[in-house]
Amino acid sequence: MVTGASGGLGEAISVELARRGADLVLTARRRELLVDLAARTGGEVVVADLADRLDVDRLTEEALGCDVLVLNAGVGNDGPIREATSDGADLVIDVNLRAPIQMALAFVQHALDERRRAAVVTVGSLSGIVATPNTRMYNATKFGLRGFTLSLHQDLLDTPVHASLVAPGFIRDAGMFADNDIDLPPGVRTKSPQDVADAVVRAITVGGAEVFVAPPELRAAAKFSGLLPGLSASLQRRLGVAEKTSGR
């Protein structure tokens, strides 16, 4: 099962998994896009809104029949602090954190009960390591998803089930970063949706706690920023990051 399969990175992940012979369950809210994709990849379409708890319960039941769960769906609709609302915060928590946690826990427990091999992959972000201005709920949920997945990874060591986090940096051509048309500082390199799909395949087949999809220099900068958030904030201020992210 791939969540957020209706576009962006989820579509690329689904196409790659189908190419490798997976029988897919494709899920998101936009039925027409899922039906179009299913015509290319085969598989079942399940329309569900991850902000709707009844839909998440239904989707979780559906996921129990799968061998692999790719929790890719995500939203990033932050913006200037004075425009923030608690409803907006709830939506990001529901989609990026609550739904994937509910689905992953039920999926893993079911596979352990059945003593069968299974893999759960969550799609995080470098925003799970480094905070930027105007992205507070996206950061909050991606930090949280990273902590959840890395702990779950340890809980599952020595079992036939594994959990891995795939953490993309800036992805060109498709997905929320490409759609937002944000200018990157000079020299910052991007990766492709296919790179993300390949990383998901690696996470499913090899396991490992965390698979990054970012050039080495960006990965290093993210880790450094995570260790020294004050210095990172000063550098980002000099680079004018707040102006670039204020329209998200």
Least separation in angstroms between residue 238's CB and ligand NAP is 23
Residue 93 CA to chain centroid, in angstroms? 13
- Residues 142-201 binding ligand NAP (CB under 6 A) are 168, 170-171, 175-177
How far apart are alpha carbons 182 and 24 in whole angstroms? 32
β-partners of residue 166 are 123, 211
Question: What helix, strand, coil percent values describe the chain, rounded to 5?
Answer: 55, 15, 30
Asked whether position 102 contacts ligand NAP by CB under 6 A, the answer is no
- Indicate whether 100 belongs to the interface with ligand NAP (CB under 6 A): no
Token pair 């962006």 is found at: 8
If one asks whether residue 128 binds ligand NAP (CB under 6 A), the answer comes out as: no
Q: Which is nearer to ligand NAP, 133 or 175 (CB)?
A: 175
- Contact between 10 and ligand NAP per CB under 6 A: yes
User: Is 237 marked active-site?
Assistant: no
The distance of closest approach from Cβ of residue 31 to ligand NAP in the complex, given in angstroms and rounded to an integer, is: 8
HSE-CB for 72 with a 13 A CA cutoff:
30
* Residues in Cβ contact with 64 at an 8 Å cutoff, skipping those fewer than 6 apart: 106, 107, 110
Q: Which residues are catalytically annotated?
A: 138
- Which residues of the chain form contacts with ligand NAP (CB under 6 A)? 4, 6-10, 28-30, 49-51, 72-76, 95, 123, 125, 168, 170-171, 175-177
